[in-house]
Amino acid sequence: MDVKQARDRLGFSQNELAQIVGVSSRTIQNWEAGVSKPKPVQVDTINRLLKMMPDPPADAREPDTVSRLLAIIESQQRVIETLTHEHNKGKGENGVIFA
C-alpha cells in the first residue's frame, strides 16, 4: 500500500491520519519513507477510509469531517472492546473457560 498516495487521496495530514489509525505521526512518516510498513489491521483501517470516501472529498481538511471520522472509529473501538470483554467473560487465567 502506498500510504502517502492514500493519505493524499483522503486529504489528511500525517498527523490527522495518525490519529485516525491510532499511531504516531512519526510512524506515518516512516511508512511513507519505506522505513517500516503498516500492520494488516492498519492497512485495513486505511482501506475502509478509502471506501468511505471513494472520491477525494473537497472538505476533507474541514474539522467537521475529521471529527466525524474520529467519532466513527471511536464507536467501532467501543464495539470491539465490548465484544472482547464479552468473549473473555468467564475465562480464567490462560484462557480457560469456566462454565
- Predicted confidence at residue 25, as pLDDT, reads 94
In a domain, 58, yes or no: yes
- What is the tens place of the pLDDT at every residue in 44-69? 888 888 876 645 455 555 667 777 77
- Predicted confidence at residue 47, as pLDDT, reads 86
Q: Report the SS3 class of residue 91.
A: strand
- Predicted confidence at residue 99, as pLDDT, reads 44
The position carrying cell 476533507 is 60
Q: How many C-beta atoms surround the C-beta of residue 7 within 10 A?
A: 21
Q: Which CATH number do you get for residue 23? A: 1.10.260
- Predicted confidence at residue 98, as pLDDT, reads 45
- Do 18 and 12 contact (CB within 8 A), yes or no? no
The backbone torsions φ and ψ at residue 43, rounded to the nearest 5 degrees and listed phi first, read -60, -40
In a domain, 77, yes or no: yes
For residues 75 and 57, give the distance between their C-alpha atoms in angstroms, rounded to a whole number: 22
Range of the domain at 40: 3-90
In a domain, 52, yes or no: yes
In a domain, 26, yes or no: yes
Mean pLDDT estimate for the chain: 78
Evaluate if pTM is beyond 0.75.
no
- Give the chain's domain count: 1
Residues 6+ apart with CB under 8 A from 25: 14, 15, 18
In a domain, 23, yes or no: yes
In a domain, 99, yes or no: no
For residues 26 and 52, give the distance between their C-alpha atoms in angstroms, rounded to a whole number: 25
- What is the tens place of the pLDDT at every residue in 2-60? 899 988 888 889 998 998 889 999 999 999 999 999 999 899 888 888 876 645 455 55
Kindly report the length of the chain.
99
For residues 44 and 10, give the distance between their C-alpha atoms in angstroms, rounded to a whole number: 15
